[in-house]
Structure 1
Amino acid sequence: FMERNPSTCLLLKDGERLLGTVLGGFDGRRGYIYHLAVHPDCQGQGYGRELLKEVLYELRKLGAPKIHLFAFNDNQLAAGFYQNQGWEWRRDIQVFSWDMDKWKTENGKRKTE
């Protein structure tokens, strides 16, 4: 992933200490932030905002007109963080997931149940 998205996968370090990271990507139509994390001891010091600002800058340079990200409903810390940064919660879309364990193999061939 990082090889395909070198400008949007960022680390924030203090010497050898990792403070935070963000993984972003652009599919040619939309930009995505797949993961943003700051070490618990370093939260509340602006590192998340800085990482977010940098990945948005890089996604804009790639031509992304809109950026999406996903957060779990029960992650109120993330929801508050993103809303404080100006992100809007979308009520008009649904997210669907597929569990790959649903695919079973029989004689080397895939089948769904």
Structure 2
Amino acid sequence: MEARRDVFQAIADPTRREILNLIAHKSQNVSTIAENFEISRQAISLQIKILEECGLIKVNKQGRERHCRPQLEKLHEVAAWIEPFRKIWEARFNELDNLLDELQSRPKSEN
């Protein structure tokens, strides 16, 4: 039994991330997307299928062409997962900034 795909699987692959970057602001057809890569159109179609299964893109058939448009709301799951780590690192960097400010404000003879 195949595990259900999720947004984390989608963004784990650099090709899929680049596809998302390409269509983030403008829907594109599969052929136009494939022109940006050195892999086959079939391989790009597979990556697009995975992105669609993960709910990050919607593919609409218009005549013989398939157009991909972004559905980036699911990236909120990633942002929510990252947020606690961002807060930890932000606090650490603030502590480092404070320490550096303290060291720089000391007279030269103390350094």
- TM-score, length of structure 1 as denominator length: 0.29
User: Which structure has the greater CA radius of gyration?
Assistant: 2
Q: Which has the higher strand share?
A: 1
More helix by share: 2
